[in-house]
Amino acid sequence: MDFTFSEDQLLFQESVRDFLVNEVTPETIRELWNSDSGRSDALWSQLTELGLVGMTVPEEFGGLGMNEVDFVLLAQECGYVALPEPLVHTALVAVPLLRDLGGELAGQWLPKIAAGEGRVIVGLEENQLVEDAHVADLLILEKAGALYAVQSAAATLRANESVDPSRKLFAVEFDEAAADKVSAEASLIKASMNRGAIAAAAQALGLAQRMIDISVQYTAERQQFGKPIGSFQAVKHHMSNVAVRLEYAKAPVHRAAYALANNHGSADLNVSQAKLAACEAANLAAKNCIQVHGAMGYTWEVDLHIFMKKAWALANTWGDTGYHKCRVAESIFVEGAALGAGNTFANCH
């Protein structure tokens, strides 16, 4: 099996990275914290024009028809800039769910998403709170094991604070008797859960890399005893430990994206492994990067906290550590589990 990304995928990732780094700066994020919605319609329009919003929308509905493998690298770049807009959610959760639901709902909303004229947000009971519900034109919400399509005007929102000021979280209430019940298939809910988890994992990779880059730059400039603190062995070890953990987390995330795109039976296990590995890397990055910054790392004036807090938040959404460890345990502790190096790729075909 060849997990190598194509040259086109890597070039697209590079172009998206350049755009996001230029447009989504820490200063821009701070400005959005003080806006009413915390979101930018102008930026969403730019993302639509680049084809990112409709990237996973099937071609017959006006999109590019790509899948999780195509988008996972871009999700990492969204994490790298701590993008507040629900781009990753749209491409990896909302669009695939609409596609799988099919029918009139998909026919009505997928073209709107591709054109940037409608935003759809998926809320599962596992998350308890729904991010970006305030900017949604349509909410697809889970209640008692069923999925309901709820127009924004028919939902009651109650705002909840997050450790990450960029995350806008809401408790959402609606009358299921007046809403459209679109499915009661557990497989669709599980698929959305998996896609949400891989979306969080991919962003965690980008966040970890950004925290490393910020800290390396800081330690190259900050001096003690007449030398940059980055030249001290203890500081090097802090950064090296994160870099190693991050590198080993990338393959599980890419593997999980491949499993989802190809409907592998091992997808649950792959996704949970990826979520655990990526979020552990991001949490270690937050811890060690605070250490090398010293007391400055705790202040709002330093950009580090923007990425650190988003990493903390993503670690506890779309399944926390306990949730995903239980799923891994269910796979490896069953009778006759295929474990060991010889079985690593046994179910990849």
Would you list the domain boundaries of the chain? 7-185, 187-343
Q: How confident is the model at residue 337, as a pLDDT? A: 75
Q: How confident is the model at residue 231, as a pLDDT? A: 47
Q: What percent of the chain has pLDDT over 70?
A: 91
Distances (CA, A) of 282 to 82, 216, 288: 13, 16, 10
* Model confidence at 170: pLDDT above 60: yes
Domain 187-343 carries which CATH code? 1.20.140.10
Q: How confident is the model at residue 294, as a pLDDT? A: 78
Residue 293: pLDDT band by 50, 70, 90 thresholds?
Answer: confident
Distances (CA, A) of 258 to 84, 177, 262, 265: 26, 38, 6, 12
Q: What percent of the chain has pLDDT over 90?
A: 78
Cα-based angle 265, 267, 273 (whole degrees, multiple of 5):
135
Contacts for 154 with CB less than 8 Å, ≥ 6 apart:
174, 175, 178, 179
Mean pLDDT of 68-83: 97
| pLDDT tens, position by position, 13-30 | 999 999 999 999 999 999
Distances (CA, A) of 235 to 16, 157, 304, 305: 31, 45, 16, 19
Is the CB of residue 25 less than 8 Å from the CB of residue 307? no
| pLDDT tens, position by position, 252-266 | 999 999 999 999 999
Mean pLDDT of 34-61: 96
Q: Which of 240, 266, 256 is nearest to 334 (CA)?
A: 266
* Model confidence at 269: pLDDT above 60: yes
Q: Which of 170, 166, 126 is nearest to 150 (CA)?
A: 170
The upper half-sphere exposure of residue 153, i.e. CA atoms within 13 Å in the direction of its Cβ, equals: 0
* Model confidence at 300: pLDDT above 90: no
Q: How confident is the model at residue 129, as a pLDDT? A: 96
H-type helices in the chain, by residue range?
7-23, 26-33, 41-49, 68-80, 87-89, 95-101, 103-114, 186-221, 233-261, 267-293, 304-315, 321-332
Neighbouring C-beta atoms of residue 103, cutoff 10 Å = 10
Mean pLDDT of 275-279: 98
Domain 7-185 carries which CATH code? 1.10.540.10
Q: Over the chain, what is the mean pLDDT? A: 91
Look-up: residue for tokens 């899948």? 67
In three-state secondary structure terms, 63 is coil
Distance CA 163, CA 300 (A): 13
Q: How confident is the model at residue 279, as a pLDDT? A: 97
Contacts of the segment 110-115: beta carbons below 8 A, 24+ positions apart:
110/57, 110/58, 110/61, 110/62, 110/63, 111/57, 111/61, 111/62, 112/137, 113/53, 113/54, 113/57, 113/63, 114/53, 114/54, 114/57, 114/61, 114/62, 114/63, 115/48, 115/54, 115/62
Distances (CA, A) of 127 to 31, 53, 64, 173, 232: 27, 23, 29, 14, 42
Mean pLDDT of 97-120: 96
Distance CA 344, CA 306 (A): 37
Q: Which of 304, 96, 306, 61 is nearest to 198 (CA)?
A: 96
Q: How confident is the model at residue 237, as a pLDDT? A: 66
Q: How confident is the model at residue 344, as a pLDDT? A: 62
